[in-house]
């Protein structure tokens, strides 16, 4: 601070006093500069000595001279060897870190440690042919359930059912106060996951009296919801339990009428015990249907949980949670005193049951479900979990044979034709990546194969009733080949679908697993083929590897086959083009007419 002079006004101030003071300061500064210069030159000479001793050869170019007044103004002599680069860096690094320095070491990789329940699942066998669990002999199965199973032709339980059903039943034998553990099931496609939640739910709810909603099953799409509701209805047939389907397949008011009724004495009462729904429709009912009450929910089932998790529609989980907690002391803020009576009155949260063939075993993703002491059943073996990458790997049915075939883009229809017509593959489900491709391919095959082959299409371009109709026909074998987008890739159970062809390769491993899983179901043999362009081979192999699968064999197509089919293909292609063009023209005509009539209506109204 003594470098600064503060001039204050006072009567006694005169110029001579100020000049004296300034001279004194200048003297002091000069003295300090001299001291520093001496200290600096001493340090320099000692550095030169050490340098000589170490016989350093590398020298730095001349250091720039500081012009700062505080530093010595003397320039180092040119013959004085400057400090070595490393030494300067080392000195500087003591003061601060130099970014980009080679001394920075890579951080050691953080080892992923899975929670115990994820790293130690109960392993479920994939073998559906050597079954050891006859329905008749299972004492834990209710006679009504047994007889329904037998009437459906199910004499032995599949491994996933054999393990999951008793576990769920057992969790509900605990005293009322104990919350049952939540369950996650990751088992291959077609391994019977649906019955592994339908059986315990129906059996446990059979004992309950009073009609209240006790089980809620959420699915990602309408078709799947309809399929699961059908299974529930079958198994509830000989019980007092009733099932409602809320998926938008019937008008909203009709769903409301099937769901609740109003009574003078008690008010709103539920008409059903089990609800099977899509997430979007569920939220609509939670918001608008009077008397829709989930306060007594015992089971919350999320089928195809990974798909639902990836696309949480309308924040449905939050709405369900909020609805269930309504009226509980957490929401009202009235916390009662802790005693046996109050504790035993406490409502338990519903048991969550999560199912999928590609259930993510990533703890961060599973976190959002808020699972209570979860238990995992998985078809992946225990050793797999020691490998950290195994977290993404999935199992496919043992009876499924997978292949791929490589051809140029223009030859893809020819390869398909060869499989369908020449090799006579029947009951084929063929996947494309776009509704437009689905339509073109259907028109082409119907033109080309004439009456030899019945080909139909299914995509979002069709309305719901048309989609239902096509699917029904395919199930009844009235259609030989169904060309579809990924709308049909998940969960749909088509008995006796013998072949799956991916005309366009799947975009990710999960889609691949679900597509190929439409065949080779319930222990039956199935064959899946993916058609690839030469440029897609390596990407496809990476995708397969990422899914934990070994390399799959290639089917070679003889070039003679392509040459032989080319002529008929060319003429079929011309007809297809004409048909599609005329369809397009018709569509344009229709839309113009609709617009015109709408305009004239508006003009009439204005007049
Ligand atoms: N124990 C059994 N014995 C014989 N068939 C069975 C048995 N359990 C289920 N099935 C049949 O197996 C087929 C596939 O079952 P399900 O649809 O439940 O499979 P999934 O595991 O849910 O498949 P995805 O993952 O594709 O949805 C169904 O047709 C079903 O009727």
Q: What are phi and psi of 401, to 5 degrees?
A: -105, 125
Quickly count helices (H) and strands (E) in the chain: 20, 16
Which ligand 1 atom lies nearest to the CA of residue 196?
Answer: 18
Q: In angstroms, what CA-CA distances link 267 with 290, 292, 607?
A: 10, 12, 51
Structure tokens at 128: 């559906």
We find that the CATH architecture of domain 116-329+347-389 is: 3-Layer(aba) Sandwich (3.40)
- Number of other CB atoms surrounding residue 197 within 10 Å: 27
Q: How far apart are CA 428 and CA 455, in angstroms?
A: 10
Q: How far is the CA of 318 from the centre of ligand 1 (A)?
A: 31
State the complex-level ipTM.
0.98
At residue 355, the pLDDT reads 93
Residue segments in the chain with a per-residue pLDDT below the cut of 50: 1-2, 49, 51-77, 385-386, 388-390, 392
Q: Which residues contact 18 (CB under 8 A, 6 or more apart)?
A: 5, 7
Q: In angstroms, what CA-CA distances link 74 with 34, 96, 436, 507?
A: 11, 27, 82, 71
Give the residue, by CA position, lying nearest to ligand 1 atom 7: 192
- Number of other CB atoms surrounding residue 48 within 10 Å: 13
Structure tokens at 517: 């899983």
At residue 505, the pLDDT reads 94
Check: pTM over 0.80? Answer yes or no: no
The helix (H) or strand (E) run that includes residue 570 is helix 559-606
Which ligand 1 atom lies nearest to the CA of residue 490?
Answer: 26
Q: In angstroms, what CA-CA distances link 14 with 4, 11, 320, 418, 606?
A: 18, 8, 87, 113, 96
Which ligand 1 atom lies nearest to the CA of residue 357?
Answer: 25
Q: How far apart are CA 487 and CA 606, in angstroms?
A: 44
Nearest to 281 by CA among 310, 317, 252, 320: 252
Give the residue, by CA position, lying nearest to ligand 1 atom 27: 491
Q: How far apart are CA 342 and CA 335, in angstroms?
A: 10
Which ligand 1 atom lies nearest to the CA of residue 224?
Answer: 27
* CATH topology assigned to domain 400-576: Rossmann fold (3.40.50)
Domain extents for the chain? 116-329+347-389, 400-576
Rounded-to-10 torsion of CA 591, 592, 595, 599: -170
Q: Which residues contact 76 (CB under 8 A, 6 or more apart)?
A: 44, 62, 63, 82
Give the residue, by CA position, lying nearest to ligand 1 atom 3: 154
At residue 97, the pLDDT reads 64
Q: In angstroms, what CA-CA distances link 390 with 185, 306, 409, 465, 478?
A: 16, 16, 34, 41, 42
Give the residue, by CA position, lying nearest to ligand 1 atom 14: 190
Domain 116-329+347-389 matches domain 400-576 at the CATH topology level:
yes
Does the CB atom of residue 379 touch ligand 1 within 6 A?
no
Does the CB atom of residue 495 touch ligand 1 within 6 A?
yes
DSSP state of 337: P
pLDDT, tens digit (0-9, with 9 covering 90-100), for 519-555: 999 999 999 999 999 999 999 999 888 777 778 999 9
Structure tokens at 361: 């075993």
Does the CB atom of residue 154 touch ligand 1 within 6 A?
yes
């Amino acid at each position: 601070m003594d470098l600064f002079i503060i001039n204050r006004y006072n009567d006694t101030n005169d110029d001579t006093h100020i000049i004296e003071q300034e001279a004194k300061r200048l003297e002091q500064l000069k003295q300090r500069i001299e001291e520093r210069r001496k200290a600096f030159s001493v340090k320099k000479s000692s550095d030169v000595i050490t340098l000589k001793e170490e016989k350093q050869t590398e020298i730095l170019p001349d250091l720039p001279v500081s012009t700062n007044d505080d530093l010595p103004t003397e320039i180092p002599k040119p013959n004085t060897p400057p400090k070595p680069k490393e030494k300067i860096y080392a000195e500087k690094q003591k003061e601060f870190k130099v970014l980009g320095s080679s001394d920075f070491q890579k951080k050691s990789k953080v080892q992923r440690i899975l929670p115990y329940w994820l790293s130690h699942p109960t392993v479920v066998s994939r073998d559906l042919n050597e079954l050891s669990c006859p329905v008749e002999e299972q004492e834990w199965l209710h006679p009504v359930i047994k007889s329904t199973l037998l009437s459906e032709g199910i004499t032995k339980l599949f491994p996933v059912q054999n393990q999951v059903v008793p576990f769920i039943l057992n969790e509900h034998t605990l005293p009322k106060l104990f919350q049952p553990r939540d369950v996650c099931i990751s088992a291959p496609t077609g391994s019977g996951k649906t019955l592994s939640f339908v059986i315990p739910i129906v059996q446990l709810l059979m004992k309950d009296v009073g009609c209240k909603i006790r089980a809620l099953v959420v699915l990602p799409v309408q078709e799947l919801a309809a399929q699961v509701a059908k299974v529930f209805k079958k198994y509830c047939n000989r019980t007092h339990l009733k099932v409602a389907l809320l998926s938008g397949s019937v008008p909203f008011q009709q769903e409301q009428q099937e769901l609740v009724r109003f009574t003078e004495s008690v008010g709103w009462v539920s008409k059903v015990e089990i609800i099977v729904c899509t997430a979007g429709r569920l939220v609509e009912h939670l918001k608008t249907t009077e008397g829709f009450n989930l306060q007594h929910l015992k089971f919350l089932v999320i089928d195809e949980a990974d798909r639902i998790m990836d696309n949480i529609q309308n924040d449905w989980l939050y709405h369900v949670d909020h609805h269930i907690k309504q009226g509980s002391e957490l929401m009202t803020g009235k916390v009662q005193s802790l005693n046996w009576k109050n504790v035993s009155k406490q409502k338990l949260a519903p048991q969550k049951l999560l199912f999928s063939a590609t259930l993510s075993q990533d703890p961060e993703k599973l976190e959002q479900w808020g699972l209570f002491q979860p238990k995992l059943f998985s078809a992946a073996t225990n050793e797999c979990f020691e490998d950290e990458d195994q977290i993404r790997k999935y199992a496919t049915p043992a009876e499924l044979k997978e292949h791929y075939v490589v051809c140029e883009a223009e030859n893809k229809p020819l390869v398909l034709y060869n499989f369908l017509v020449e090799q006579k593959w029947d009951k084929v489900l063929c996947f494309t990546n776009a509704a437009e491709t689905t339509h073109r391919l259907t028109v082409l095959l119907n033109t080309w194969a004439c009456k030899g082959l019945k080909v139909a299409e299914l995509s979002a371009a069709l309305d719901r009733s048309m989609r239902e109709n096509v699917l029904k026909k395919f199930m009844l074998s009235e259609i030989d080949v169904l060309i579809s987008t990924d709308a049909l890739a998940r969960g749909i159970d088509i008995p006796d679908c013998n072949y799956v062809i991916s005309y366009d390769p799947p975009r990710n491993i999960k889609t691949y697993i679900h597509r190929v899983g439409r065949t080779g179901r319930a222990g039956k043999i199935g064959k899946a083929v993916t058609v690839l362009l030469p440029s897609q081979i390596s990407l496809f192999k990476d995708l397969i590897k990422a899914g934990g699968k070994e390399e799959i064999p290639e089917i070679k197509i003889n070039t003679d086959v392509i040459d032989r089919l080319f002529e008929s293909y060319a003429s079929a292609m011309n007809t297809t083009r004409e048909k599609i063009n005329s369809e397009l023209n018709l569509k344009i005509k229709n839309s113009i007419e609709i617009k015109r009539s709408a305009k004239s209506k508006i003009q009439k109204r204005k007049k």
